[in-house]
Structure 1
Amino acid sequence: MQAFQLVEWQQPPVLRDVPVPEPGPGEVLVKVGGAGACHSDLHLMEWPAGFLPYELPFTLGHENAGWIEALGPGVKGWEVGEAVAVYGPWGCGRCRPCRTGLETLCERAAQLGAAGGGLGRNGGMAEYMLVPDPRLLVPLGDLDPRDAAPLSDAALTPYHAIKLALHQLVPGTSAVVIGVGGLGHMAVQILRALTPARVIATDVDAAKLALAVDVGADHAIEAGEDAAAEIRELTGGIGATLVLDCVGSNSTLTLDTQVVAKGGAVMVVGVAGGTLEYRFNTLPSDASLTHPYWGSIVELGEVLELARAGRITPHAERFPLERVADAYERMQSGTLSGRAVITPHG
């Protein structure tokens, strides 16, 4: 089968022929319907050897959905042909965070040498993907795996962050989404589905601002030197109760501090690698700065329920596996609208 693999650090991934994996005891083979291309993959390609504890080569793609192709010995309760989403973060499955569904916080993560499929282990940018344990699968029901793939990260990550601040997002409050890409356009929809807050989106790209309005943003602000003042004006000078930064660059981190309200929350889910110099009054009184990471498998189930109810819908452009490099080039150039999804089986 064909697989898009990272073979050498700081070099472009390559499409290679590799054997179709055979599921062993307790494992599940998934026929990949869709694999989302995530901006964090671009950073993964840029980082030097030794920055992460991953062994090469491995197949990219940590945002996956498909159909069960084969069950390894001992796997019960699942059917061949069943549509499933693959929970992305793979922990030890035994520690307390893992047993509560938050494998993102696995206490043995440093010993595992990988964070999941597409992150140190073979992911979904291939015709088939081996999942090491059925606990990592969530039924899709009538959702198409090609449409549902982005829900496992692009929707789950902002959903997890928004839930952390949900008790604060009462009527009369505002939420700002910075960056209306794969995560940001889902964040706008999730805020609209779960909260009564005023939703303000900001981006450098006019087309992405138009998408933000299309999916439910109340206001769309062009990023730049006037953005902070415009956001403050829209919030009556109070600032935003939640600032969800889907970029994480120097400039967006600065904007975060300028527009968050007293007692509000800044949630940085973007991985652009920016830095923020902290000193007294960097943030307003009682405001918090948090780095939420992905989400729990229980939350993934909740995200899928929102999608089944028609409350959230990923905006995605599909690419066949042979054009996966084109998808990342489009992402790098900023010309994608929403998410790129690789569809190995058409």
Structure 2
Amino acid sequence: MKTKAYQLVEWQKPPELREVEVREPGPGEVLLKVGGAGACHSDLTLMGIPPGFMPYTLPFTLGHEAAGWVEALGPGVTGFERGQPVLVYGCWGCGRCKPCRMGSENHCERVPELRYHGGGLGRDGSLAHYVLVPSSRLLVPMGSLDPRDWAPLADAALAPYHALKRALPLLVPGSTAVVIGVGGVGQMAVQLLRAVTAARIIAVDMSLEKLARAKELGADETVRSDEHAVGHIRELTRGLGAEVVMDVVGVDSTLKLAAGVARQSGQIQLLGIGGGVLPFHFFGVPLECQVVAPYWGTLPELMEVLALAQAGRLRMTVEHFSLEQLPEAFQRMRGGTLKGRAVITPHG
């Protein structure tokens, strides 16, 4: 079957809409009709990477945030049926090493030899009409949730959830969490913090519209990201700073802000891949403050995020685009004019 897909053909070049061949699923594989494929800032980062930096072999179809309906099952696949809505766990590891056996395919030990991280990251992803998933273990049933609206759970929600889970001992009653950047991922971070912790949440952004949205989604306080932001947050935390700071942007200025508002023995979490640098020296961050770069999330955590969504604890703000409108979605993303997450809906 021939269909269309947006593929990365050359490093540091825009992806191309190409005609590709979709084969029938082999043993253990599942073919999905793509309902929603999230467009992500990391796609923009990936396009700008110089040749030789990543182990991936070109070309491959972009799209690592996927949900859809089961189209066909390969030999030996049980537990799923045609037309069933499913969410795709985006980290595709070997399935056999210790981290993979524990559901942490985001930490697969064989990535260097596999030469990929998942669909859209070295292997064909979901910015297409169909995506071939290598194993049914990577699928999570969605129940009544619509794949066109909830595909971003696979990354935009999973990544901040994985980050906050590692910081749960710090997020006790009376604590403070700061979220820097409340676009699509930051909005999910605010909601997840509200759903699973008792921490006070401070949202930080340049956009007053996004700050207002963060307030609607559960932020206790909002702070404009300007030259007064550090002082304002310090004032809100009685001069002590925040136990956890999530930087969802990751440029020099936001990392400087994160270091300026974290407290002693706190944690700075770098989720954004904006390419910024945090100078690290004895006086560069508060005493005994951890600096971590959480990566994506585990399969059990994705199931927990999905459970929160099914329970009505999360709201997803999305804007839909056709497959042909992907360049427009990326342009809006670069300009910061998206209200939430851009989701490509190849089948309308």
Q: What percent identity do the matched residue pairs reach?
A: 60
Runs of 4+ in 1 over 3 A off after TM superposition: none
- Return the alpha-carbon distance in structure 2 between the equivalents of residues 197 and 72 of structure 1: 46
Equivalent position to 2:216, from 214, 217, 220: 214
Equivalent position to 1:33, from 16, 35, 40: 35
Alignment of 1:48-67 (within 5 A): 48-67=50-69
Q: Which residue of 1 aligns with 2:293?
A: 291
Q: 1:26·1:132 contact (CA, 8 Å) conserved in 2?
A: yes
Q: 1:21·1:129 contact (CA, 8 Å) conserved in 2?
A: no
Q: 1:301 offset after TM fit, Å? A: 0.3
The count of corresponding residues between Structure 1 and Structure 2 is 346
Equivalent position to 1:324, from 323, 326, 333: 326
Uncovered stretches (5+) of structure 2, i.e. residues with no partner:
none
Q: Which residue of 1 aligns with 2:156?
A: 154
- Return the alpha-carbon distance in structure 2 between the equivalents of residues 21 and 226 of structure 1: 56
TM-score in terms of structure 2 length = 0.98
Q: Which residue of 2 aligns with 1:314?
A: 316
Q: 1:68 offset after TM fit, Å? A: 0.5
Per-residue deviation, residues 238-266 of structure 1 (Å, max 9, x unmatched): 11011011011111111111101111111
Equivalent position to 1:243, from 245, 248, 254: 245
Q: 1:45 offset after TM fit, Å? A: 0.7
The one-letter amino acid of 1:25's match is P
Q: 1:20 offset after TM fit, Å? A: 2.3
TM-score in terms of structure 1 length = 0.99
Q: 1:26 offset after TM fit, Å? A: 1.2
Per-residue deviation, residues 163-215 of structure 1 (Å, max 9, x unmatched): 11112111111100001112101000001111111100111122211111121
Equivalent position to 1:45, from 44, 47, 50: 47
- Return the alpha-carbon distance in structure 2 between the equivalents of residues 307 and 25 of structure 1: 31
Does residue 164 of structure 1 match 2:171?
A: no
Does residue 69 of structure 1 match 2:50?
A: no
- Return the alpha-carbon distance in structure 2 between the equivalents of residues 77 and 33 of structure 1: 20
- Return the alpha-carbon distance in structure 2 between the equivalents of residues 219 and 28 of structure 1: 44
Does residue 119 of structure 1 match 2:124?
A: no
Q: Which residue of 2 aligns with 1:138?
A: 140
**Which 10-residue stretch deviates more, 277-286 or 103-112?**
277-286
Q: 1:38·1:182 contact (CA, 8 Å) conserved in 2?
A: no
Equivalent position to 2:266, from 254, 264, 267: 264
The one-letter amino acid of 1:218's match is D
Q: 1:21 offset after TM fit, Å? A: 2.6
- Return the alpha-carbon distance in structure 1 between the equivalents of residues 84 and 336 of structure 2: 35
The one-letter amino acid of 1:35's match is A
- Return the alpha-carbon distance in structure 1 between the equivalents of residues 281 and 164 of structure 2: 26
Equivalent position to 1:95, from 88, 91, 97: 97
Q: 1:328 offset after TM fit, Å? A: 0.6
Q: 1:180·1:209 contact (CA, 8 Å) conserved in 2?
A: yes
Q: Which residue of 1 aligns with 2:201?
A: 199
Q: Which residue of 2 aligns with 1:229?
A: 231
Uncovered stretches (5+) of structure 1, i.e. residues with no partner:
none
